[in-house]
Amino acid sequence: KAGVTQTPRYLIKTRGQQVTLSCSPISGHRSVSWYQQTPGQGLQFLFEYFSETQRNKGNFPGRFSGRQFSNSRSEMNVSTLELGDSALYLCASSVQVSSSYEQYFGPGTRLTVT
Amino acid sequence: AQSVAQPEDQVNVAEGNPLTVKCTYSVSGNPYLFWYVQYPNRGLQFLLKYITGDNLVKGSYGFEAEFNKSQTSFHLKKPSALVSDSALYFCAVRDLQGSQGNLIFGKGTKLSVKP
């Protein structure tokens, strides 16, 4: 099976712009989670989608949004970019194994805001 | 609030020696604990998990972790370190007040294995 894919891998944007990141989960995985990774804050949960519905959301401003399509692919959008949004954005798809979920991560999208 | 702590920013080990990467947790209820590894410019790779059962959990690449409820710890171990084990290691706990796909991660520990 192919792993989790994320596009683009690298992105440079200017403050005030918006950006859309894409994630394709492993085939058959219906849950997709997004995380932000920065040197200062580490890995922080953004949101999780399951069957096109947002199941949970982390403590991020409303500028961060996401959605999931019927084929389980997911996108996240950040509007009005700020310098502090520069980070590695990781997507993970989940499958239930032995009464719990295991998350499999993509390689990430490196976003740089200038 | 649930959390995990990795008290060491960096661990240095000589190749062939045993390694331990420490993790402590704080959860209200039974913890679901995970270890992930991240190589440079890569996403996180799942190593192992503890849900219930045996306190010693075996995972990928020869790693294992010991769950200790009294000490609220879940330390990652390997009997003999390899240079290729050098990477960033993350301990995580499932947010029991969230959904299955919501993990709370520690700050990470950089493991450096020297030849």
> How many angstroms separate the Cα of A88 from the Cα of each of A44, A58, B20?
11, 16, 27
For residue B2, pLDDT over 70 is answered with: yes
Per-residue buried b or exposed e for B22-54, using 16+ beta carbons within 10 Å of the residue's own CB: bbbbebeeebbbbbbbbeeeebbbbbbbbbeee
CB contact under 8 A, A56 and B101: yes
Confidence of residue B98 (pLDDT cuts 50, 70, 90): low
pLDDT classification of B57: cutoffs 50, 70, 90: very high
DSSP conformation class of A26: P
H helices, E strands: number in chain B: 0, 12
Q: What is the pLDDT of residue B99?
A: 67
Q: Per the CB < 8 Å rule, is B49 touching A102?
A: yes
- Check if the beta carbon of residue A78 is closer than 8 Å to that of residue A19: yes
Nearest-by-CA chain A residue for B102: A45
| CB contact (8 A) between residue B108 and residue A99 | no
CB A70 within 8 A of CB A52: yes
Tell me the percentage of chain B whose pLDDT exceeds 90: 77
pLDDT higher than 80, residue A21: yes
pLDDT recorded at residue A102? 82
Contact check, Cβ <8 Å, B42/A107 = yes
pLDDT at B107 over 70: yes
Q: List the structure tokens of A19.
A: 């950006």
> Average of pLDDT values for B38-43?
85
Give yes or no for residue B22 having a pLDDT over 80: yes
Assess contact for B94 and B32: CB atoms under 8 A: yes
Say yes or no to pLDDT of A99 above 70: no
> CA B37 → CA A97, B21, B42, B110, distances in Å?
19, 11, 10, 10
Angstrom distance (rounded) from CA A47 to CA A63: 13
pLDDT at B89: 98
pLDDT of residue B30: 82
Shortest distance, CA B51 to any CA of chain A (angstroms) = 7
What's the pLDDT score for residue B41? 76
Report whether B102 contacts A50 (CB < 8 A): no
With 80 as the cut, is the pLDDT of residue A100 above it?
no
Instruction: Give the pair of three-digit tokens for residue A65.
Output: 């949004």
pLDDT score for A96: 76
What is the rounded average pLDDT of the residues B10-35? 94
Report, as an integer, the average pLDDT of B34-51: 90
Query: Which residues fall within 8 angstroms of residue B107, CB to CB, at 6 or more apart?
Result: A42, B5, B6, B9
- Among A4, A45, A108, whose Cβ lies nearest the Cβ of B103? A45
Between chains, do A45 and B95 touch, taking CB under 8 Å as contact?
yes
Coarse DSSP helix, strand, coil percentages of chain B, rounded to the nearest 5 percent: 5, 50, 45
pLDDT at B55 over 80: yes
B interface with A, Cβ–Cβ below 8 Å: 32, 34, 36, 41-46, 49, 51-52, 90, 92, 94-95, 98-108
